[in-house]
Structure 1
């Protein structure tokens, strides 16, 4: 939002967190699911608008694709066995497959599955996830390709020319330049950004709230009434909402691509988890 409208980053963080905490604490998983549905539609509209308008601007989808191919941005069959190379056939196919397995049993998914009435509905929820992730993942890649093609076509390197100071501002800068004479479309892109932020944060807060109550607090408060448990769950959402604000202010100082930072963090957590499991097994064997 800062790149598109000049709105201060700190205010954006506080507003998104406050809105997410508000409806998650009041409405619980039902509010999270319904807002996610609305937000996903907005996200889809914003992403499609960028891909379609960007492709038209450079001469069509075929021309956009050729610009990326000629620029070395499309490599489907790079069989480099080096595990330190970030993007290869092996890292993308097998790495993505392993990472996607977690989508089937993480807390956010389980909450949605168990909230439906029948097992048949639960199966529909699980099977509908795959095409949804494929569509949004494909559109995200196409947005990146459109950004590269647009700057190749216009002969501009905004990062090299110091027009933007952060690699995460590339796509927003494309939007401001692309839609400068089309009122409302920049706002649609902003709405899709906010929708993505809100849906991710609200799902995480709802999941953490349930986990904290079920795994940590309930064992010490076995006789707590349902009203008291609900109040505590709402307070947990507020507390972790404040924590998320603090983490966001730390992340905004990072200059590299956020996706790469998140992947590194997730890999570190996975390694720590595996090491912890082996440590626990060793202790029990001894």
Structure 2
């Protein structure tokens, strides 16, 4: 128990602020679990957090590896297992040779390509049908158009409030306490270097 604050292993707003500051300024601690061990003086807490992060990242990476492998297996005669091995080997080689900086420098072109791909698909669909108005009308008939649903019920899917609240927590986790963006941020020495 921390006698000065009266808390027993409870994350405070100050902890979240420190996590966020650690993203902007590297204080020589490479991982958040190191901070938690220093803050709460508990090696067991560090091991539990490290285990939880490892389980989380293993599940996340399995999805990230499976999706492109399934796409590769679909367009070729490779089995899914072989395509997983091929994609995994290519990604491992790429990150080993180029490091995290190579990943950071490729994020922007990949994002631009994804948005362009979605835009091209939308334009092609509108061109193949009568036009954008018919696509919009079909989306409306299928109950796919729902803007600013202000229902406060947590049982209704995709309301304004549930999206904002969930989005805030997801972004707080991803940018504030997740190890992956922290590693990306500290791998680039200065802001001008990160901007290219």
TM-score scaled to structure 2, two decimals?
0.51
Structure 1 residues 3, 56: closer, same or farther in 2, change over 3 A?
farther
Preserved contact between residue 148 and residue 159 of structure 2 (Cα < 8 Å): yes
Partner of 1:274: none
Partner of 1:57: 128
Unpaired stretches in structure 1, ≥5 consecutive residues: 126-286
Partner of 1:98: 169
Partner of 1:85: 156
Partner of 1:42: 113
**Cα distance, 1:22 vs structure 2:** 1.0
Matches within 5 A, 1:1-286: 1=71, 5=75, 7=77, 8-105=79-176, 106-118=178-190, 121=192
Cα RMSD (Å): 2.9
Alpha-carbon distance between aligned partners in 1 of 2:186 and 2:81, rounded to the nearest angstrom? 36
Q: Give the 4+ runs in structure 1 shifted more than 6 A.
A: none
Report the structure, 1 or 2, having the larger helix content.
1
Structure 1 residues 95, 56: closer, same or farther in 2, change over 3 A?
same
Structure 1 residues 94, 113: closer, same or farther in 2, change over 3 A?
same
How many residues end up aligned between the 2 structures?
Answer: 123
Deviations 1:235-282 (A, max 9, x none): xxxxxxxxxxxxxxxxxxxxxxxxxxxxxxxxxxxxxxxxxxxxxxxx
Question: Helix, strand or coil: the match of 1:77?
Answer: coil
Structure ranking higher on relative contact order (CA contacts 8 Å, 6+ apart): 1
Alpha-carbon distance between aligned partners in 2 of 1:114 and 1:2, rounded to the nearest angstrom? 33
Unpaired stretches in structure 2, ≥5 consecutive residues: 1-70
Structure 1 residues 85, 14: closer, same or farther in 2, change over 3 A?
farther
